[in-house]
Amino acid sequence: MIDVCLLGIGGMMPLPDRPLSAALIRVGSETILFDCGEGTQVNWRLSGWSFRPTGTILLSHLHADHIAGLPGVLFQIAHAGRTEPVTIYGPEQTAEIVTHLVRIVGRLPYELRVVHLEGGDSIPIVAGLTLSTLRLRHRMPCIGYRLDLP
């Protein structure tokens, strides 16, 4: 079974009743975060879902409204006691941007991996899921994701 929790619904700037893009997917004991707009950790905490089981983060593109919440989320995952690696997947330049954002957080108790994806990739990730990607048209490199569970 797959559970979905919408943490944000989009928009270019956070408003009191419109948090930025973010969604959680739970499969078994694993949690996957799709995008990470500013303030993601606030609605995540309100949802009651734990930060610790999150080992996969999927970024569609690198505009601030999709990634500005990353330092806070990585910090929350660290303080939830996670020591297993966390992998961030995203389009070209994801590694460079993540490197700069992680400087805000400081030392993490887990290994942080960054994987560059392009449209047409298909890889196994966690909990039996296969991740497939599609290059999307946007003002910057953008990836669409599909998860398949046998």
Residue by residue, DSSP assigns 92-124 as TTHHHHHHHHHHHH---SS-EEEEE--TT-EEE
Average pLDDT over residues 80-88: 97
Asked whether the predicted pLDDT for residue 14 surpasses 80, the reply is: no
Question: How far is residue 48 CA from its own chain's centroid?
Answer: 17
Give the contacts of 139 (CB within 8 A, at least 6 positions apart). none
Cα separation values, 129 from 80, 83, 93, 123, Å: 24, 22, 25, 9
Cα separation values, 60 from 9, 47, 78, 113, 117, Å: 14, 22, 23, 16, 10
Of the residues 3, 65, 121, 148, only one is catalytic, namely 65
Q: What is the per-residue pLDDT for 81? A: 96
- The upper half-sphere exposure of residue 105, i.e. CA atoms within 13 Å in the direction of its Cβ, equals 22
Asked whether the predicted pLDDT for residue 12 surpasses 80, the reply is: no
Banded model confidence at residue 118, pLDDT cuts 50, 70, 90: confident
Spatial contact of 120 and 146, defined as CB atoms under 8 Å apart: no
Banded model confidence at residue 150, pLDDT cuts 50, 70, 90: confident
List the structure tokens of 75: 């910090």
Banded model confidence at residue 2, pLDDT cuts 50, 70, 90: confident
pTM of the shown model: 0.93
List beta partners, residue 115.
89
Phi and psi angles of residue 129, each rounded to the nearest 5 degrees, phi first: -80, 145
Active site annotation includes 65: yes
Q: Helices marked H in the chain — which ranges?
A: 40-47, 64-67, 70-79, 94-105
Q: What is the per-residue pLDDT for 102? A: 93
Q: What is the per-residue pLDDT for 126? A: 85
What DSSP state is assigned to residue 44?
H
